[in-house]
């Protein structure tokens, strides 16, 4: 059943327990902490990024290798994104944006490897990343601008008699940012993986039920699965870009709240 169940791939499983807080000693009581398959693949994602960057930038050459060129293109791509969205003043946040972009990109790509776990398919992970951005914007906005940061909710040029209507809308829009940012990434990755699993499940079921004849019926689901796999690679990259560019735009509000 696990082989064709489209939801089974998202199940978080404990690999080994860590500790429990509270409880009366009975099974299931208290706050249980464990190292899970989700945590494992987050560690693998971060470790892969670190190893890749160290290996490709450790010894810079005048004529770059393919790895060095890839790392440099990745750096310039994110740096250009930050400059175009938040200006040169936003480059102080380059490490944050680069880390978010590469983590989401690598995690999405790993999720397409058979038997790997997709950490961005869980909203708790995407919401945590979104809250990191949201809190950074708020904290830096008040540190840099003080009470002037609240100008973000008072658009320039709006007549005073409309402000009682516009300001609450701006506040609600601002507070909804971490929700929209997290749901967008989570929803796209989840839906794509379920669709891909359904089509591959059709092929497996037809082959298992009809034998040799099932191979002919499975041709269309297999072709759809191949096409969807290519699409999922594109979606994974696009979603990493969207998350990063929206992060830059939100950080620009903290840098220039009156704009």
Report pLDDT digits (tens) over 53-93: 998 887 777 677 888 889 999 999 999 999 998 889 889 99
Yes or no: say if 57 and 71 are a contact pair by the CB < 8 Å rule: yes
The Cα–Cα gap between 74 and 80 comes to: 10
Yes or no: say if 198 and 6 are a contact pair by the CB < 8 Å rule: yes
Residue identified by tokens 């102080």 is: 92
The predicted pLDDT at position 193 comes to: 84
The Cα–Cα gap between 251 and 230 comes to: 32
Of the candidate ranges 37-46, 206-215, 239-248, 249-258, the one whose mean pLDDT is the lowest = 206-215
User: For residue 31, what are the β-bridge partners?
Assistant: 21
Name the more confident of 1 and 103: 103
- Which pair of tokens denotes residue 149? 């940061």
168: CB partners within 8 A, 6+ apart: none
Give tens-digit pLDDT for 114-140: 888 999 999 999 999 999 999 999 999
- Which pair of tokens denotes residue 90? 């936003």
């Amino acid at each position: 059943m696990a082989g064709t169940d489209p939801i089974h791939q998202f199940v978080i499983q404990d690999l080994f327990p860590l500790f429990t807080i509270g409880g009366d000693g009975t099974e299931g009581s208290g706050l249980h902490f464990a190292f899970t398959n989700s945590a494992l693949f987050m560690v693998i994602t971060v470790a892969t990024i670190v190893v890749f960057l160290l290996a490709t930038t450790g010894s810079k050459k005048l004529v770059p290798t393919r790895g060095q060129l890839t790392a440099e293109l990745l750096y310039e791509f994110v740096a250009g994104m930050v400059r175009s969205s938040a200006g040169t003043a936003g480059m102080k946040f380059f490490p944050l944006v680069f880390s978010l972009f590469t983590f989401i990109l690598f995690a999405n790509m790993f999720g397409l490897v058979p038997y790997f776990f997709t950490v961005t398919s869980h909203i708790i992970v995407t919401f945590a990343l979104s809250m990191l951005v949201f809190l950074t914007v708020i904290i830096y906005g008040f540190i840099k601008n003080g009470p002037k940061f609240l100008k973000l909710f008072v658009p320039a040029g709006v007549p005073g008699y409309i402000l009682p209507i516009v300001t609450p809308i701006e506040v609600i829009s601002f507070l909804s940012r971490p929700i929209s940012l997290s749901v967008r990434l989570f929803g796209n990755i989840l839906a794509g993986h379920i669709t891909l699993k359904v089509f591959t499940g059709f092929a497996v079921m037809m082959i298992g039920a009809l034998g040799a004849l099932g191979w002919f019926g499975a041709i269309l689901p297999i072709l759809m699965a191949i096409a969807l796999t290519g699409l999922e690679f594109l979606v994974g990259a696009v979603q990493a870009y969207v998350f990063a560019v929206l992060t830059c735009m939100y950080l620009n509000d903290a840098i220039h709240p009156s704009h």
